[in-house]
Copies of this chain bind each other. A is one copy, B any other.
Amino acid sequence: MTAPLYFEDLSHGQTFRSRTHTLTAEAIKHFAAEFDPQPFHLDEAAAAASFFAGLCASGWHTTALTMRLLVESVPFAGGVIGAGMDELRWPNPARPGDVLGAVSEIIELRPSRSRPEIGLVKLRITTANQAGAPVLVLVSNNIVPRRDGAAR
């Protein structure tokens, strides 16, 4: 277990690397049935004939899995609290059998002007498969408490 990191503990360029997670066809279909019921996420034959030329995960499934990996690998005090995302891309489809891992890099650090107890931390998150091909790129604005926040 890593000690929780406060805003003052963070530096530009700092990176966090997650464990990997293996995506299964069953999980792809299960998520899609609830949240993104489109043929290319539900059925191999329909997917083969589609834009995606084969079964692939909903982009929102890839994103949700990435969040799971972030919660486990980014030890911000107070948790991983996103104030919003500036950009989200899925450069390649995520396929059954893909072994996915996420790397998060701090690309901006800024104390909040209106709320002295927190800082704003911009992360660039890349989730890639076993071949190193990115399946998700996300620029996330996170809220991280300041170490001396309670005293202000």
Task: Specify which of A35, A36, A86 lies most central, judged by the most chain B CB atoms within 10 Å of its CB.
Answer: A35
Of B58, B60, B71, B89, the residue contacting A38 (CB under 8 A) is: B71
Interface string of A9-22 (1 = CB under 8 A from B): 00000000000000
A78 touches B64 (CB 8 A): no
Chain A interface: which size bin? 20 to 34
A88 at the interface (CB under 8 A from B): yes
Chain B residues with Cβ under 8 A from A60's Cβ? Answer: 60, 63-64, 67
> At the interface, yes or no: A75 with Cβ under 8 Å from chain B?
no
A residues near B (Cβ < 8 Å) are: 31, 34-40, 51, 58-60, 63-65, 67-68, 71, 78-90, 143
